[in-house]
Amino acid sequence: MMNMAGQFNDRAAPAQPAPALPPVTEILRQGLDLVEDLSRQLQCLDSLMLTGKPNDISDAAAGIEAALKAAGPAFAEITETMARLGACNLAAAAAQLRKIEEADAAGLAEALRAALSRFAKKSVSANRRAQQLNRGLNAALKSLAALGVQESGRLIAEA
């Protein structure tokens, strides 16, 4: 472009296009899949707590912890997507998606909200069972200690 003095000015390089964002339906579907997988793992852990196999319980709990950490970026992306929609929660996101005629995405937002609700209830139940198991183990260990069942200063029955 030429300026008033007849000199050519360098034009600024064209701005880089913003990276394409994945479609809302894809993000919500990924979130729903993650929550359903976590729910299955949590249900397995809850069932394992009834077996009394501490190594299996520990492995399952570690697996859930790792899965939750791995799911962090996906949940952050869901949160960012909700912010782009101007929604503070998944119910509001579903309503917003219906307004812009994204019925599939709205259904996924509602399904994700329901799956998260079920997961939260299962989590509370599993936590309650873990606390009961822990209290039971502590009581059993105290009873053994009271009976003098120790070996080199530590209880034989380790949890």
Ordered DSSP codes for 83-150: HHHT-SSHHHHHHHHHHTT-HHHHHHHHHHHHHHHHHHHHHHHHHHHHHHHHHHHHHHHHHHHHTT-E
In a domain, 156, yes or no: no
Whole-model pTM over 0.95 = no
Whether 155 is covered by a domain: the verdict is: no
Whether residue 18 is contained in a domain is answered as: no
pLDDT of residue 54: 81
Q: Is the pLDDT of residue 70 over 70?
A: yes
**Does position 57 have pLDDT exceeding 80, yes or no?**
yes
- Asked if residue 3 has pLDDT above 70, the reply is no
- Domain assignment present for residue 42? The answer is yes
CA 115/CA 112 separation, integer angstroms: 5
Q: What is the predicted pLDDT for the residue at 127?
A: 87
Joined together, the tokens standing for residue 126 give 């599993």
**Which one is predicted more confidently, 101 or 63?**
63
Tell me the per-residue pLDDT of 91-149, one tens digit each, with 9 for 90 and over: 999 998 888 888 888 999 999 999 999 999 989 888 888 888 778 777 776 776 666 65
Residue 14 in any domain: the answer is no
Interacting residues of 32 by C-beta distance below 8 A, sequence separation 6+: 108, 111, 112, 115
**The pLDDT value given to residue 149:** 55
Position 114 in a domain: yes
Q: What is the pLDDT of residues 27-48, one digit of tens each?
A: 999 999 999 999 999 999 888 8
Domain count, the chain: 1
| 35 close to 117: Cβ distance less than 8 angstroms | no
Asked, for residue 152, whether it belongs to a domain, the answer is: no
**55, two tokens:** 């190594």
> Domain residues for 40?
24-147
Q: Is residue 157 situated within a structural domain?
A: no
